[in-house]
Amino acid sequence: MRTVASVLASNFKQWGIQHIFGIPGKAISPILFELLTEEIQFVLSKHEAAAGFEAAGYALLNEKVGVAIGTSGPGGTNLITAAGQAAASHLPLLIITGHPSMKDTGKALGQDSSSFGTDLVNMFSHVTKFSARVERGDMLKPYLQHALEQALAGVKGPVHLSIPFDVLLEEIEPFTLDLPTPYEMISPNLSDVMDRLNEATRPLLFIGKGVHSSKAYEEVQHLAELWNIPVVTTPGGKGAFPSNHSLSLGAFGLGGAPEAMDYFQEDVDLLLVIGSSLSDMSTAGLTEAMYPKHVIHFDYNPTFIGKSVIVPTTPVLGDIKSNLKTMLKEMPATNSEAFRTTPEPMPLQENVPGERMSAIQVLHAMRNTLPEDAIIFGDDGSHSFYGIKHFDIYKPGTYFFDDIFGAMGNGIGYAVGAQLAAPEKTIVCLVGDGCMFMHGTEVSTAYNYDAPVLFIVVNNGRLDMVEKGMRKMIGTSIGGIYETPLDAKLFAESMGAQAFTCLTPFELGHRIEEALQIMKERNKPIVIEALVNENEIPPTMGRQ
């Protein structure tokens, strides 16, 4: 017989998890003690929401599952934001929260997480695929198994278990569960898709972050090359298709490229939507006059199919990668090198006298100096939309950004967790000063746990998207400008990290090159602050 906490920890080990993220508290302390026994590192985050972000980033790159734990009451409520973000990012995240005592439930309890206090199970039910309280030790196995199945099946996402302190100490028969292998559904509409592709005269591929979720990069590229179909990406799909491909038209929606808009305006007869819900972020600028004659919509989730672009639509439900592999299995290979273009260095310009550098120049300096396989996590803000428009992708799966839930600071946590999951990768967080104010203390987590993330802080002293958006609407802004701006260099140095402030794109490029070498030698994060023009208009003004 072993305690529930011990059985949980042994399962974490069985799944190949080496890091668990959270903040300690009495209600979850039995789990922490057992992590020592299993030699799993507990990562002390600085905020529970950030712990959830880190666990989600960990899941993204270890391609298994991430685990975040928080104590009862506020520890749990802080994790709700991370659950909402993981749901939007389609990442398998197991959140475990505590509760003071099952046997005393109904009495007055500090940080009560039951229906008599802060009902965490009910709260999490709205942002997870499964939320339940393990009220007895013998309930752990079926509940944990169901949670894993929900996290990893279909549209991947977060799940939540509340386990009271006394249940964690209860002894049960030990067990181990393997991570489930999902059974993929193949759509019966694939032959119709082939017929429509063969008949189309002006088709267009419109790819979203579902391509990231299914890792269908090769299949999408094969599809585009076989039928010679131009490709546009949504903001969330940025990074799913290489920019230096002759069929790439860049991004559409917020941060979109003019080439993508121009193609849409010339009578698209068949639009193949792959892994996008066609949100307002993704379709910004798309008018009814630009609608295609027919849509083929690949997605796991049928909820939004046929609801944003109202034209005849063929749904292709199920895993994107599995459906595309099935559809293309008899098709000849293509010579991808024949479609590859040679990227030119991005042009750098000196600042206008008396002004800070352009944010566009920040992205150009990044592209010129970062390796092709560097993985960029764009935090939520105009800085990432600059990246969507101006940062070229040379290798699919190297730019991640969420355009749906949009929790500020998520990219910071995702980058830290991803670096711990894949220490051999070059991980970069593109972040703004607003996001750093929210969760910049996770630089300390990266420093303390040897996660050499390169944080590039685009600092213009304001909440840029909000501030510029309000000015567009009413001619002024309210609460969008920081009276005392962030000094990102001093902030980072206060947590032990080395940091630089850059005033020109040329200086920024040199500092990035220097930072990459230092991080390789010291295995510590570095923060580079780029001071940018406060009055520059970001590429986010197309949203209605």
pTM of the model: 0.96
Residue keyed to tokens 């890792």? 215
pLDDT at residue 117 in the model: 86
- What tens digit of pLDDT does each residue of 307-344 get? 999 999 999 999 999 999 999 999 999 999 999 999 88
Query: Of 205, 443, 187, 225, which Cα lies nearest the Cα of 332?
Result: 225
Q: Is the pLDDT of residue 203 over 60?
A: yes
Range in 10-14, 96-100, 253-257, 370-374 the model is least confident about: 253-257
137/149 Cα distance (integer angstroms): 20
pLDDT tens-digit series, residues 179-197: 998 888 899 999 999 999 9
- Closest to 430 in 3D by CA, of 389, 407, 401: 401
CB atoms closer than 10 angstroms to residue 537: 12
Q: Mind listing the domains of the chain with CATH numbers?
A: 2-172 (3.40.50.970), 190-332 (3.40.50.1220), 359-531 (3.40.50.970)
User: Which value, to the nearest 10 degrees, does the dihedral of the CA atoms of residues 71, 76, 82, 87 take?
Assistant: 120
The amino acid occupying position 422 is: A
Residue 544 pLDDT exceeds 70: no
Mean pLDDT across 408-424: 98
Place of tokens 């910004």: 284
> Residue 104's pLDDT band (boundaries 50, 70, 90)?
confident
> For residue 542, what pLDDT band results from cuts at 50, 70 and 90?
low
Residue 97 predicted with pLDDT over 90: yes
Average pLDDT over residues 138-143: 98
Mind listing the pLDDT tens digit for each residue in 148-178?
999 999 899 999 999 999 999 999 999 999 9
Closest CA to 239 of 202, 206, 199, 212: 212
CA–CA distance, 271 with 297 (Å, rounded to integer): 8
Which of 219-233, 269-283, 393-407, 528-542 has the lowest average pLDDT? 528-542
Residue type present at position 191:
S
Reported confidence tier of residue 543, pLDDT bands at 50, 70, 90: low
Q: What is the pLDDT of residue 220?
A: 98
For the residues 84-106, what does the mean pLDDT come to? 93
**Cβ-proximal residues to 85 (8 Å cutoff; 6+ apart), any chain:** 52, 53, 56, 402, 405, 407, 410
Say which residue the tokens 């099952």 belong to: 102
Continuous segment of H or E residues that includes residue 258? helix 258-264
Using a 10 angstrom Cβ sphere, with 0-12 exposed, 13-18 middle and 19 or more buried, the burial of residue 266 is: exposed
Q: Give the rounded percent of residues in the chain with a pLDDT score beyond 90.
A: 87
Does the pLDDT of residue 475 top 90, yes or no? no
Q: What tokens does 311 get?
A: 């034209």
471 vs 169 pLDDT, higher one:
169
Average pLDDT on 60-89 reads 97
Beta strands in 156-277 (DSSP E): 158-164, 171-172, 203-207, 231-233, 248-251, 270-274
**What H or E segment, with its residue span, contains residue 98?**
strand 93-99
Number of other CB atoms surrounding residue 172 within 10 Å = 18
The more confidently predicted of residues 492 and 468 is 492
Q: pLDDT at position 101, please? A: 87
Higher per-residue pLDDT: 103 or 20: 20
Q: Report how far residue 214's alpha carbon sits from residue 155's, in angstroms, rounded to the nearest whole number.
A: 9
Indicate the range of 7-16, 30-39, 254-263, 430-439 predicted with least confidence: 254-263
What is the enclosing helix (H) or strand (E) of 527? strand 526-531
